[in-house]
């Protein structure tokens, strides 16, 4: 006699009249043409369906790609899939709750999406001026709100537009988290951004979120994987992204190559970024992107400094002179890069000047990432 289902996952597989092997075969087909999920092994599926490990120990965290696979196939949140199955009768309270959420999401329209975008644009301006600590919590709440609306809204143009704003919000939160040294949170935000990009059916946004995520990899020392991910993003956006974004994608690839010591590939990528950069970009095509020649110049200077190129000093100095004074975070990074590049000159006074200035700015905006880089240059405080 078949035992009682231990989890909703096990019950749903039974309801589909499938064996674990048959379900895994279907999962393999489901994952074949998607980049945000991976197939699941029979053994791992059986462990999740049991709600515990074979030795009785609790299950560990479920990997994001496995979570998205099962949630996508079964339409049930992972937390519910791992709980004991619910009774067949659905309570009136559950029905009322769902009806209320669906009704609230019906208010989603063009005007509401524009309000979400306006709040996000303000957060972006504040971020570059005062840094992440004061804004990250509020941005997380905005993301949670947007996801709630998106989850219960029906397919239409407003839903797709909101998914695009969510990509923007998630990537900004990813960058803020990375700046705070929260690499796991940053990775999760970028993963969420990629999922929202797929929801919006926008290859350009998917490429953008993927390239942004590559920075997490080279920040944690996995520069080879960073290059692979940035290259994948660049190819994803090829002929599908506006020119300004394609220029940015090439620069992101160039940065990843520099972190991995691939000088020739890095310089070629930055040359291509300059070639593609439009003289008068249509900013409405990429509202999530703050990028121009001065930002490309400072990005290239960062790569040159990583590669130990003496030309980094002139490149970074020119970028610093041209940078808008409101970009406090960018100035902080530029001065750290200049201090790094100036090591080859042994000009201790100038190195000290940039380190002290960058230290004050890093404290002002609360940038843990730049403070950590400055610690590595501390021996130049002479």
User: Does residue 226 contact residue 215 with C-beta atoms inside 8 Å?
Assistant: yes
Q: Reply yes or no on whether the pLDDT at 91 is more than 80.
A: no
Reported as a single tens digit per residue, the pLDDT across 337-368 is: 999 999 888 788 899 999 999 999 998 888 99
Tokens of residue 332, six digits? 């902080």
Instruction: Please tell me which residue, 299 or 288, carries the higher pLDDT value.
Output: 299
pLDDT at 95: 73
pLDDT computed for residue 134 by the predictor: 67
Residue 382: per-residue pLDDT: 45
Q: Do residues 322 and 294 touch, judged by C-beta distance below 8 A? A: yes
Considering the entire predicted model, what is its pTM? 0.73
Task: Name which of 174, 167, 152 is nearest 208 in CA terms.
Answer: 167
Cβ proximity of 150 and 199 under 8 Å:
yes
Confidence band, pLDDT 50/70/90 cuts, at residue 93: low
- Angstrom distances, CA of residue 150 to CA of 20, 156, 283, 306: 32, 11, 25, 41
Q: Which two tokens stand for residue 89?
A: 């009768």
Name the nearest CA neighbour of 351 among 316, 323, 319. Answer: 316
Q: What is the pLDDT of residue 287?
A: 84
| Per-residue confidence band for 36, with pLDDT thresholds at 50, 70 and 90 | confident
CA 50/CA 217 separation, integer angstroms: 34
| Least trusted range by pLDDT, from 96-105, 162-171, 244-253 | 96-105
Among the listed residues 324, 323, 358, the one whose alpha carbon sits nearest the alpha carbon of residue 338: 358
Q: How many CA atoms lie within 13 A of 218 on its CB side?
A: 23
CA distance 13 to 333: 52
Q: How far is CA 38 from CA 19, 24, 72, in A?
A: 19, 11, 12
For residue 201, give both structure tokens: 């059916």
Q: Compute the average pLDDT of residues 32-41.
A: 83
Tell me, what's the pLDDT at 203?
Answer: 94
Q: Over the chain, what is the mean pLDDT?
A: 89
pLDDT(194) > 90: yes
DSSP state of 381: -
pLDDT at residue 88 in the model? 40
Given this model, what pLDDT does residue 132 score? Answer: 64
């Amino acid at each position: 006699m078949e035992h009682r289902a231990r989890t909703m996952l096990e019950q749903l597989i039974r309801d589909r009249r499938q064996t674990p092997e048959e379900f895994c075969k279907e999962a393999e087909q489901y994952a074949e043409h998607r980049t945000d999920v991976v197939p699941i092994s029979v053994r791992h599926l059986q462990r999740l369906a049991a709600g515990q490990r074979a030795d009785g120990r609790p299950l560990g965290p479920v990997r994001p790609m496995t979570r998205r696979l099962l949630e996508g196939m079964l339409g049930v949140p992972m937390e519910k899939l791992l709980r004991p199955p619910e009774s067949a009768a659905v309570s009136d309270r559950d029905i009322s709750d769902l009806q209320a959420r669906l009704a609230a999401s019906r208010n989603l329209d063009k005007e509401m999406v524009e309000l979400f975008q306006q709040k996000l644009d303000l957060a972006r301006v504040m971020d570059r001026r005062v840094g992440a600590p004061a804004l990250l919590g509020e941005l997380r709440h905005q993301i949670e709100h947007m996801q709630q609306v998106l989850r219960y809204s029906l397919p239409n143009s407003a839903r797709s537009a909101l998914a695009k704003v969510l990509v923007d919000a998630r990537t900004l939160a990813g960058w803020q988290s990375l700046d705070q040294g929260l690499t796991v949170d940053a990775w999760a935000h970028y993963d969420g951004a990629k999922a929202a990009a797929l929801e919006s059916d926008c290859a350009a946004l998917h490429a953008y979120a993927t390239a942004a995520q590559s920075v997490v990899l080279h920040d944690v020392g996995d520069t080879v994987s960073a290059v692979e991910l940035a290259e994948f993003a660049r190819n994803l956006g090829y002929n599908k992204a506006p020119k300004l974004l394609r220029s940015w994608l090439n620069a992101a690839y160039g940065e990843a190559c520099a972190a991995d010591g691939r000088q020739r590939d890095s310089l070629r990528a930055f040359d291509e970024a300059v070639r593609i950069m439009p003289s008068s970009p249509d900013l409405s095509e990429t509202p999530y992107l703050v990028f121009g020649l001065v930002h490309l110049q400072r990005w290239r200077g960062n790569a040159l400094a990583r590669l130990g190129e003496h030309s980094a000093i002139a490149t970074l100095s020119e970028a610093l002179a041209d940078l808008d004074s409101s970009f406090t975070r960018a100035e902080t990074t530029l001065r750290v890069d200049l201090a790094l590049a100036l090591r080859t000159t042994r000009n201790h006074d100038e190195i000290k000047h940039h380190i002290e200035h960058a230290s004050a700015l890093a404290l002002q905006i609360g940038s843990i990432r730049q403070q950590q880089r400055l610690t590595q240059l501390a021996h130049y405080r002479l």
